[in-house]
């Protein structure tokens, strides 16, 4: 008699996948709104989920494939959002740098004051 995992654990994994997909979507929405997002918890939950699914027999894991594909789609959308935000921030920094350099070059910016008595 071979030891197989009972169906409730499989159902728990399907629920965990759905919850993780929702969590990823919420993170994407936060990132789109310009909020800082913490990815450590997501990475940990993904690693735990992958380990749990990898330990399943193929026949038991196969029904989880559609949910995992949905999860991968959510991760792709989060990746795109984070990359876009990173590019936006980089462009903002470049623009601020150019503006500051122009202000200094044309004397519209404040120059650092020299110590008292020195010129």
The pLDDT value given to residue 95: 86
Q: Angle, to 10 degrees, between the axis of helix 40-54 and the axis of helix 7-32? A: 160
Tens digit of each residue's pLDDT (9 = 90 or more) over 71-107? 999 999 999 999 888 887 788 788 888 888 888 888 8
Average pLDDT value for residue range 52-73: 91
Contacts 24+ apart (CB under 8 A), 65-69: 67/14, 67/17, 67/18, 67/21, 68/17
Distance CA 102, CA 72 (A): 45
Per-residue pLDDT for 27 more than 90?
yes
Structural domain tally of the chain? 1
Any idea which of 4-13, 28-37, 54-63, 101-110 has the lowest mean pLDDT?
A: 4-13
The pLDDT value given to residue 92: 79
**What is the extent of the structural domain holding 70?**
7-105
Is 78 part of any domain? Answer: yes
Global confidence as pTM = 0.64
Is 100 part of any domain? Answer: yes
């Amino acid at each position: 008699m071979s030891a197989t995992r009972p169906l409730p654990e499989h159902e728990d994994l399907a629920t965990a996948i759905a919850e993780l997909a929702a969590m990823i979507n919420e993170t994407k929405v936060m990132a789109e709104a310009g909020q800082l997002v913490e990815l450590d918890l997501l990475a940990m939950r993904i690693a735990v989920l992958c380990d749990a699914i990898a330990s399943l027999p193929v026949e038991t894991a196969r029904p989880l494939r559609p949910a995992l594909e949905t999860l991968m789609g959510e991760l792709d959308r989060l990746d795109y959002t984070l990359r876009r935000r990173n590019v936006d921030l980089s462009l903002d920094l470049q623009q601020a740098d150019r503006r500051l350099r122009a202000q200094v070059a044309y004397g519209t910016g404040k120059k650092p004051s020299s110590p008292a008595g020195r010129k």
